[in-house]
Homo-oligomer: A and B are copies of this chain.
Amino acid sequence: MPSKPATPITIDAVYAAPGYLFRRMQQIAVSIFMEECKAFDLTPVQYAALIAIHTHPGIDATRLSAVIAFDRSTLGSVIERLQAKAYVERKPAPEDKRIKLLYLTKSGAAILREIIPAVERAQARMLEPLKPADRKVLMGLMTQLVDLNNEASRVPLRAEDALEHLGKGG
């Protein structure tokens, strides 16, 4: 009497696997975001970076990567592109020659204000096929799961506590 039936090597097993569903949903989410925001030429990641810099002006790249759970290596090129679009400025930190501080430019702050409605539409569209009650349940479980699995990724989210030494914490 086998306690676990052997998984058949079938594509249907893949369709039901959590990893597959998460990958697929991410794909769909990015696609919807890009569609709603195509007038702004901003990717989801660039948007998150702008928001984070807006929330924490003068943050450095390493801390930014912790705040949006984003790989430090990749973040360099993301910032470069935001800089090329003149949405972000980098200033050397006076007390630490290694660090470059990040600030939104005026057009960076402006595009952030303008893109918000499109982002809202995108976020709403992702969940639209579900009944309102189910949307809440799904978001609740996803929030839990992401939080409880935080340490499993290379770049765990370190939201506020990563910024304490900046002296901005409320």
Residue positions of A touching B, CB distance < 8 A: 7, 9-11, 13-33, 35, 44, 48, 51-52, 54-56, 67-69, 112-113, 116, 119-120, 122-123, 125-127, 129-130, 134, 137-139, 141-146, 148-150, 152-155, 157, 159
Secondary structure at the A interface, as helix, strand, loop or mixed, is helix
Give the residue of B24, B112, B159 whose beta carbon is less than 8 angstroms from that of A15. B159
Q: Which residues of B contact A15 (CB under 8 A)?
A: 157, 159
Measured between C-beta atoms, what is the minimum distance from A93 to chain B in Å? 21
Measured between C-beta atoms, what is the minimum distance from A153 to chain B in Å? 5
Q: 5 other contacts beyond A19-B33, A22-B22, A28-B146, with CB at 8 A cut-off? A: A7-B120, A11-B67, A129-B148, A130-B144, A130-B145
Measured between C-beta atoms, what is the minimum distance from A133 to chain B in Å? 11
Q: Which residues of B contact A10 (CB under 8 A)?
A: 51, 55
Bound form: Cα–Cα A13–B2 in Å: 48
Q: Which residue of B lies closest to A44 (CB)?
A: B19
Give the residue of B55, B123, B153 whose beta carbon is less than 8 angstroms from that of A31. B153
Bound form: Cα–Cα A17–B116 in Å: 12
**Contact at A29–B25, with CB atoms within 8 Å?**
no
**Contact at B26–A139, with CB atoms within 8 Å?**
no
Q: A9-B113, A143-B21 are in contact. Are A14 and B138 (CB under 8 A)?
A: no
